[in-house]
Structure 1
Amino acid sequence: MDRRHFLYAAGLGSVAMTSGCVPSARKSQPPVFQVPRLRLSRDRIVKETVGLRPFRASGPRIEKEMLGNKTIVHNYGHGGSGWSLSWGTGHLARELVLVTGVKKVALLGSGTVGLATARLLQEKGCEVTIYTKDLPPNVTSSLATGTWSPASRVCDPKVATAAFRQQWEAATRYSFRTFQFLLGMNDIAAWVDEYNVSHQPPTGQSDPSLGGEVFHLDGLVPERQTLSRRQHPFGAPYVTWRSNMMFNIPSYLHYQLSTFMMLGGKLTIREIKTLEDIDALPETCVVNCMGLGAKAIFNDEELTPVSGQLACLIPQSEVTYKLNVPGANIISRKDGIYLGGNGLVGNWDTTPKREYTEKWVDVIQQVMNEMRHA
């Protein structure tokens, strides 16, 4: 037997000898989620803020009206969904602008809705000037939690029409597609783990008055999964998990404003208080993204604030998740870990209340105390 045939025969023999020793495939085990503990104490709170969400029971106002010889395109009143819907409602507002044929456009407001709308107008060749009283971080958009929540306080479902639901769905899908192109860009948007933890069985329904989602679209973010006791370290018996999007607000707003300016956008610091102020602007087409500022100017009796307090903990590099428990929630961002859990309808007071912060610290600390050690 020559060397080639010997090696071939030896190889077949090896296969024959070992084939009976291959272990059978094991049944796949469910994933186990590693959840780092939060270092939580009241002396780690470095900032407390109160933001005012612009809520309209019928939903955001996205429509066109005439003011003398000026065209006003409204895009405001998103409740707790402004960050998530900003690109989608901006796209709807842009369509209303484009039919006018006007290329020089004034835009009121420099929050997340205004900046996204301005960027979208630039994509179609419009020359945009933003008129704003303040710049980030001195805007309401800087005081949000920054998670994908396109139906959070977006409307009162009891009065929302089928037409609004269709508009909301179109805006939600457009926004979601746009955010996918922003992922990976200096962490201005990212996917994170989100846990719901409770000692009581879930009802399957969100409470809109507490900021819960009033609508849902399948096929965007993954559906929530119920975890078994073996899959998580929490002490509570009812735990769900999903992946969700999160926005690092300071870097996101800086990116939006910088890009707007780089593309030739103009910025004027000017407070708009009356219709006469709008009429005095040189542009004949004006996009109103003022949020609550639109209430007095346009006599919008439906527009009302929903205040939400946040307390900021020192960042913890290993904590990158969102946690919802009855009475409180946290979300970890690059600039800090934010605690929240309230929404006061009709409240204009932006003074933080220490008792809210202390309550959230106690609630979350109890969850941390109940977590099992790895």
Structure 2
Amino acid sequence: MSELRIGVLGAGVVGLTTALQLQETFRQAKVDVIADKFNTDTTSYVAAGIFRPGTSFCGPDDATTSKWVNDSYSYWDELRGGREAANAGITHLSGYIFSSKSANIVRNHLIEHLVPLYRRATEAELRICPGDWKYGSFFTTILTETARFLPWATERFKQNAGRLVKKEIASFRDLHGGAYDVVVNCAGLGAKQLCNDHKLVPIRGQVIKVKANWLKTFFYGDYDTYVIPGFNSVTLGGCRNYDSYDTTVSKYDSLAIRERCEALVPSLKTAPAVAEYVGLRPHRDPVRVERETLRCEGQSMKVVHNYGHGGYGVTTAPGTAKHAVRLVVEALSGSSKL
């Protein structure tokens, strides 16, 4: 009986968490992660990594969306409580979200009853940051520092006999010869061309990493303003440029981000910048996690898609990965290689 071969397209947080869960489920399988970009070159590397899905994040239905979020939190929280937490870059983090516009902005039905603490901010807390804040919430959640998690996950994958293949895949035909029994497509924005998926659009984001070791609390404000402490730096953001493919750092966005963040947390005015990044979030409504059988050069190819997480890839990757692995099991049911 020949061995089971699984190919995972994409080496961002979605691809790596999927590959690790595939290795756990199919202990004897050979799993490859195939990508043209790894670690620092991925969109995941730019992410602040806080567990806070947007309220508009969705799967095919509410029940599936809730399960993805809940499964993801369980995954991250288990790692956070384990001995590898520091190496994987995972910790608890608490902070505030403020708004002068609407109470709905500071609520989050996806996590209010999931995280350890989510409560209304007191009148005194609404005055912690300058501004006319009328609404606020305080909550504790999980932070995944992708600068640590991506290398950690890659090394763990390799230790489990996983193989990294550096290759650009423009078409499923590039995986010729039936090399894999099933392919899991975690290509992010690359799936737009790969699948000719017009629902998938980039949402450009830009962040500034600053040195501000005194900050241990995150803050969110109106107009996509956020200040999120990490292990080695603090992430200032942000922007959301719909359908933009511009990957260059904009000085105008930089100035706007610093102005908003410094207005929210004035002590940041003395914080030196250490890096600036731009990432294109792969947004799709809904996120696509589903099976498909393709015909490539006269042969059938079993594919499981797992892409379109937008700005919530770090938050929800483990949950959609778990779903994708179940679909792989279904795709291979009846196979003599199982």
Q: TM-score, normalised by structure 1?
A: 0.63
Asked if structure 2 preserves the Cα contact closer than 8 Å seen for 1:306 and 1:343, the reply is yes
For these two proteins, the number of residue pairs brought into alignment is 257
1:257 equivalent to 2:154? Answer yes
Q: From 111, 117, 121, give the equivalent of 1:226.
A: 121
Contact 1:307–1:345, Cα closer than 8 Å, also in 2: yes
SS in 2 for 1:331: strand
Match of 2:306 in 1: none
Deviation for aligned residue 1:232: 6.1
**Which of 104, 119, 127 matches 1:205?**
104
Report the alpha carbon displacement of residue 365 of structure 1 after superposing the two structures with TM.
2.2
Tell me if structure 2 keeps the 8 A contact 1:109–1:131.
Answer: yes
State whether structure 2 residue 219 is matched by structure 1 residue 323: yes
The reply on whether 1:145 has 2:41 as its aligned counterpart is: no
Could you tell me whether the CA contact under 8 Å between 1:312 and 1:337 is conserved in 2? yes
> In structure 2, what is the equivalent of residue 186 of structure 1?
86
The answer to whether residue 213 in structure 2 is matched with residue 289 in structure 1 is no
CA-CA distance at 1:150 after TM superposition:
3.0
The residue aligned with 2:22 is: 121
1:343 CA drift (Å): 0.7
Aligned partner (choices 38, 46, 62) of residue 135 of structure 1 = 38
* Alignment-derived partner of residue 318 in structure 2: none
Is the CA contact 2:216–2:229 (under 8 Å) kept in the aligned structure 1?
A: yes
SS in structure 1 of the partner of residue 114 of structure 2: coil
For residues 367 and 300 of structure 1, what CA distance do their matches in structure 2 show? 39
Q: 1:291 to 1:369 in 2, by over 3 A?
A: closer
Change (3 A) 1:232 1:246: farther
Q: TM-score, normalised by structure 2?
A: 0.69
1:173 to 64, 70, 79: 70
| d(CA) in 1 for partners of 2:14, 2:140 | 24
Q: State the AA in 2 paired with 1:264.
A: A
For residues 311 and 152 of structure 1, what CA distance do their matches in structure 2 show? Answer: 24
Comparing 301-310 with 225-234, greater Cα deviation is found at 225-234
Partner of 1:52: none
Gap change, CA 1:233 and 1:120, over 3 Å in 2 = same
Q: State the Cα distance separating 1:358 from its structure 2 match.
A: 1.1
Question: Is 290-299 or 334-343 further displaced after alignment?
Answer: 334-343
Give the deviation of 1:197 after TM superposition.
3.2
Partner of 1:103: 4
8 Å CA contact 2:7–2:34 kept in 1: the answer is: yes
In the alignment, what sits opposite 1:86? none
Offset, 1:146: 0.8
Which residue among 207, 224, 230 is the counterpart of 1:333? Answer: 230
2:256 corresponds to which letter in structure 1? K
Contiguous gaps of at least 5 residues in structure 1: 1-100
Cα distance in 2 for partners of 1:195, 1:168 equals 24
Show the 5 A alignment for 1:1-374. 103-124=4-25, 125=27, 126-151=29-54, 154-155=57-58, 163-184=60-81, 185-186=85-86, 188-198=89-99, 200=100, 203-206=102-105, 216-221=110-115, 222-229=117-124, 233-236=128-131, 237-238=133-134, 239-280=136-177, 282-314=179-211, 316-327=212-223, 328-369=225-266
Paired residues of 1:223 and 1:242 also in contact (CA < 8 A): yes
Q: Distance in 2 between matches of 1:230 and 1:301?
A: 44
- The answer to whether the 8 Å contact 2:55/2:110 transfers is no
Amino acid at match of 1:186: A
CA separation in 1, counterparts of 2:12 and 2:193? Answer: 18
Change (3 A) 1:359 1:283: same
| Counterpart contact for 1:104–1:127, Cα < 8 Å | yes
Root mean square deviation, CA, Å:
2.6
Structure 1 residue 370 displacement after superposition: 9.7
> Which amino acid is the alignment partner of residue 203 of structure 1?
S
Q: What CA distance in whole angstroms lies between the structure 2 residues aligned with 1:138 and 1:264?
A: 23
Aligned partners of 2:8, 2:66: CA distance in 1, in Å?
Answer: 24
Does structure 2 conserve the Cα–Cα contact (< 8 Å) formed by 1:339 and 1:357? Answer: no
5+ residue gaps, structure 2, are 269-338
How far apart in 1 are the matches of 2:103 and 2:125?
A: 23
Q: Distance in 2 between matches of 1:277 and 1:153?
A: 35
Change (3 A) 1:249 1:110: same
